[in-house]
């Protein structure tokens, strides 16, 4: 059974994700220069709202509760960009998210 991440609108709860390449967590998240999370029709983009995403440590932290998302269940897409992947890499299109009030 797939884990479902719960987002509470207006709350400081966050989602923490490790990005795995061949089963191993990325060694250096600091090489990322942009992260885009698409949840339904909403886009959380580190270039537009950097306060909603943090990838300065050893994972991606998504502060989706601050984004004012519509209530409901979604399959989110995660894209990252770096100097070697200027067109981006899609990590998943199936991150299960439920947005609650």
Question: What total of structural domains would you count in the chain?
Answer: 1
pLDDT, tens only, 10-46: 999 999 999 998 999 998 899 999 999 999 999 999 9
Contact status, residue 76 vs residue 37, Cβ threshold 8 Å: yes
Query: Model's pTM, two decimal places?
Result: 0.95
Note down the domain range covering 34. 5-100
Q: What is the CATH number of the domain that holds 54?
A: 2.60.40
Neighbouring CB atoms inside 10 A of 78's CB total: 20
């Amino acid at each position: 059974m797939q884990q479902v991440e719960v987002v509470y609108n207006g709350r400081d709860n966050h989602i923490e994700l490790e990005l795995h390449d061949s089963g191993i967590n990325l060694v250096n998240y600091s090489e990322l220069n942009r992260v885009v999370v698409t949840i339904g029709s909403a886009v959380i983009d580190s270039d537009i709202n950097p306060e909603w995403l943090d990838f300065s440590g050893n994972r991606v932290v998504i502060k989706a509760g601050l984004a004012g998302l519509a209530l409901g269940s979604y399959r989110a897409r995660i894209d990252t960009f770096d100097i070697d992947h200027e067109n981006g890499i899609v990590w998943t299109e199936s991150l299960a998210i439920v947005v609650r009030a």
